[in-house]
Amino acid sequence: MSVLIAIELTGEKPSNASLELLALARTLANGNPVVALSLGADVGLTETLIARGADKVVLGARETFTDINSDVWATCATDAARKHGATLVLAPHTPFGADIAPRLAFRLNAACATGCVSIDRQDGALLCTRAAHGGNVREVLRMKARVTVATLRAGVYDALPADTTRKGEGIILTEPPPSRIRVLERKRDAAEGVRLEDAKVIVAGGRGLGGAEGFKVLEPLAHALGGVVGASRVPCDLNWCSHAMQIGLTGKTVTPELYIAVGISGASHHLAGCGNAKTIIAINTDKDAAIFREARFGVTGDFAKVVPALTAAIRALPKDL
């Protein structure tokens, strides 16, 4: 089957989640073309995407696609899927992908599965495995329409290493389609350092931090580990921190080597976004908190006392193993 991938950009570059989709597409395409669609991109991206597994790259250049929005994306992706005969359309399960996927599905008369953790082929049919019921269960859906549209959570498949000898075709879109929505303003959080999605170490805080000041206690720990600070939904809803820090079912999917959950109870909705971390450590006053069932190491205690001591001890560790 021919596969179309909606490539999400982070800054100038394709997101890791998008590159992972290219790798998955190569295994599912069975020799048919893998088509990558990127809007508002530098034309140089064509080569990058071919090196990472695309056979064709449809690109709306930054200079012409100056004001891309979700409506423009939905139209361009629908057109590209039709034009290139894609029977599988993939997007990362982020606000970007979760926004366009259902719309593409209706336009393409497709079956739709969101938030997938794997896609397999069985007897000619596609099986999409996804989390449901707040991450507590997995359901395997057999896709019954000719076309399937799916979004995938990050960190399930490994992106292919760049192979600059790969050959492919670049197609440049001449002009953006008309849009029914108008973007008036973008309020982006100042991009400081590493993004949560790319972080190797995350120190995440929850309601147990008791307030915005609690995050001040986590920052030195994250810093000492070269990591970044994230959050459960509660502190975001309470405005203790930016909603962009939310990890979980309706927040970000993260896959760090080390995830330190501080004052987080371990609701399935939260774990849906961090359960794939290599090692989870929990610091919580409640020894029965669900998070300890996911953690390799646990400390029962008040974070305000445990975390500064942990930070100091980490700083004092000899640099090399």
Partner 1 sequence: MHIAVCIKYIPDPEAAFSQFSIDEQAKKVVPAPGLRHVVSPFDEQAIEAALRVREQHAGARITVITLGNEASRNALKHGLAMGADDGVLLMDPAFDDGDGYTTTLALSAAIRKLATVDLVLTGRQAADGDAGIVGAGIGEELNLPVLTFAKAVVMEGAAASVVRVERVLDDGTEIVEADLPALVTVSNELGAPRAPSLRETMRAARKPMVVWKAADLELDVATLGAAGARTARERIFVPSKAVQCEFIEAATPEEQGARLAARLREAKVL
Q: CA of 9: how far to CAs of 19, 45, 88, 144, 235, in Å?
A: 10, 10, 20, 31, 28
| Minimal distance, residue 158 CB to partner 1, in Å | 20
Q: How far apart are CA 95 and CA 82, in angstroms?
A: 24
Q: Kindly state whether residue 188 participates in binding partner 1, applying the rule CB under 8 A.
A: yes
Q: How far apart are CA 241 and CA 219, in angstroms?
A: 12
| Minimal distance, residue 111 CB to partner 1, in Å | 4
Q: Kindly state whether residue 295 participates in binding partner 1, applying the rule CB under 8 A.
A: yes
What's the length of the chain?
Answer: 321
Chain positions 74 to 103 lying near partner 1, rule: CB under 8 A, are 74, 94-96, 98-99, 102-103
- Write the CB contacts of 19 (distance below 8 Å, at least 6 apart in sequence): 52, 53, 159, 160
Per-position x/- string for 54-73, each x denoting binding to partner 1 as judged by CB under 8 A, each - no binding: ---------------xxx--
| Minimal distance, residue 164 CB to partner 1, in Å | 29
Single out the residue of 237, 265, 240 nearest to residue 251, CA to CA.
237
Candidate segments 26-34, 157-165, 170-178, 310-318, binder of partner 1 by CB under 8 A? 310-318
Q: How far apart are CA 74 and CA 206, in angstroms?
A: 35
By a kind-dependent CB cut-off of 5 to 8 A, residue 111 interacts, out of partner 1, ligand FAD, none, with: partner 1
284: helix, coil or strand? strand
Candidate segments 28-36, 37-45, 154-162, 277-285, binder of partner 1 by CB under 8 A? 277-285
Q: How far apart are CA 158 and CA 17, in angstroms?
A: 9
By a kind-dependent CB cut-off of 5 to 8 A, residue 139 interacts, out of partner 1, ligand FAD, none, with: partner 1
By a kind-dependent CB cut-off of 5 to 8 A, residue 270 interacts, out of partner 1, ligand FAD, none, with: ligand FAD
